[in-house]
Amino acid sequence: MEKIWAPWRMRYIDGSHKDEGCIFCNKPKENNDRENLIVYRGRFSFAMLNLFPYTNGHTMVAPYRHTAIFEELTRDEVIDIHIVTSIIIKAIKMTMNPDGFNLGYNLGRTAGAGIVDHLHFHIVPRWNGDTNFMPVIGEVKVISEHIEQTYDKILKGIEVMG
């Protein structure tokens, strides 16, 4: 039997990864983008890699302003979130060559939001053949690249775009 080691996942499983307060409010203020996995800062929103991704390159775009209510986003926030999303998609296409993307919001716990108090937009790259039996049979998701390598790739793509 082959063993798959992902000890970093235990922080998610046991809940020890949870910060005091809101990560989407606190992390941008810390001025430590690499450690906080923030790959891009827009005027009204920013993009950060998901520390517990569905797949490599799973990025979240959130407004700086703390809100959980989509219809309360300002026009500037809506526009900026989509501009930042476009930049991230271009960077991922350039550096990771996915075959497609899943994009969207999970608004509310029932809809799957892990962080319900601060809305965020998910960018999930997908590749042909990236689904397999592991999540269904083994309840295991295999992430094939270290998150720091993914961070560097996306950052490089953003830098190339200028």
Domain locations along the chain: 7-161
Determine if residue 104 is labeled as part of a ligand binding site: no
Options 17, 66, 120, 146, the catalytic residue = 120
Q: Model confidence over 22-55: pLDDT tens digits?
A: 999 999 999 899 999 999 999 999 999 999 888 8
Determine if residue 58 is labeled as part of a ligand binding site: no
Residue 72 Ramachandran class (φ > 0 left, ψ -120 to 50 alpha, else beta): alpha
Task: Give the pLDDT confidence score for residue 78 in this predicted structure.
Answer: 98
Task: Give the pLDDT confidence score for residue 111 in this predicted structure.
Answer: 86
What whole-number distance in Å separates Cα of residue 113 and Cα of residue 34?
24
The residues of the chain scoring below 70 in pLDDT are 1-19, 130-144
Distance of CA 127 to the CA centre of its chain: 17
Q: Is 118 noted as a catalytic residue in this protein?
A: no
Determine if residue 6 is labeled as part of a ligand binding site: no
Please choose, from the candidates 130, 154, 155, 157, the residue with its C-alpha nearest in 3D space to the C-alpha of residue 144: 130
What dotted CATH number matches 7-161?
3.30.428.10
